[in-house]
Amino acid sequence: MSNAKALPLLQPGEVEPCCPPLAERPLTADEAERTAKMFKALGDPVRLRLFSAVASHEGGEACVCDISDVGVSQPTVSHHLKKLKEAGLLSSERRGTWVYYRVEPAVLAAMGQLLTKAAAA
Amino acid sequence: MSNAKALPLLQPGEVEPCCPPLAERPLTADEAERTAKMFKALGDPVRLRLFSAVASHEGGEACVCDISDVGVSQPTVSHHLKKLKEAGLLSSERRGTWVYYRVEPAVLAAMGQLLTKAAAA
């Protein structure tokens, strides 16, 4: 079931250049809208655990079949991984029966910079 | 670990040491719960704009009286600033009539590290 609606899905290429460090100047409404989506995706404990499970998995990638210890059903895992992908935080590739997810380093690094530079300012 | 569970509010001192970089190992349920709260606080566009307004304000601090251009009422601004404080991202100090908020650099830096190191892994 696809409940992705008409939400503007963020692609890594779009996300990366967005937005100055949070302490440089106030974000515009548009910048805040885009950036908040990424933080929101990590603002759920189950999603954060899944994200961490993918990021720390051997080879930096994982499929639903690799992740079974966060206490939620496989369809729920799939649902959350898709949300993380829609936020631009994971990329995916189908191989045979399974979709493999991996972390988008550029997007993460950009988010990290927003915070780290805000902290230093 | 600490028995902070009676109270969902995170204090800067508690937040900072929490959690390895997201790519180091899967987060535990408890770690994810604590860290997700911080990301969630920044996962709302209005809150993110307010946070950025405080972070970029002269002297790195601001009161509600300084922030009027994000298109929401003063009580709403106050509400969101309190949420950010509860998440450990802002600290506050009352001076006369106004409460002044400032960014918690250690907490932000820790969040930035979680992401930046995950990106580099």
Residues B48-84 have pLDDT tens digits of: 999 999 998 988 899 998 887 888 898 999 999 999 9
Contact by Cβ (8 Å): B55, A121: yes
Half-sphere exposure of A4 (CA within 13 A, CB side): 14
Give the SS3 label for residue A69. Answer: coil
User: What average pLDDT does this structure show over A93-120?
Assistant: 85
Tokens at residue B92, please?
Answer: 């506050």
Nearest to B25 among A35, A56, A111 (CB): A56
A65-89: average pLDDT: 90
Chain A residues closer than 8 Å to B23 by CB: 52, 55-56, 60, 103
Confidence tier at B92 by pLDDT (50, 70, 90): very high
Looking at A42-51, A101-110, B72-81, which range is the least confident one?
A101-110
The closest of B84, B45, B41, B35 to B62, measured between CA atoms, is B84
Structural tokens at position B46: 């209005």
- 8 Å CB contact between B39 and B18: no
DSSP state of A17: T
**pTM for this model (two decimals):** 0.80
Cβ count near A84 (within 10 Å): 24
**Predicted local confidence at residue A79, as pLDDT:** 94
Choose from B10, B50, B56, B104 for mutation: most chain A CBs within 10 A. Answer: B56
- Give chain B positions within 8 Å (CB) of A121: 55-56, 60, 103
- In whole angstroms, give the CA distance from residue B1 to residue B3: 6
Rg of the Cα atoms in chain A:
15
pLDDT of residue A121: 60
Strand ranges across the sheet with A98-103: A61-63, A98-103, A90-95
Greater pLDDT, B22 or B4:
B22
Cβ pair B85, B101 in contact under 8 A: yes
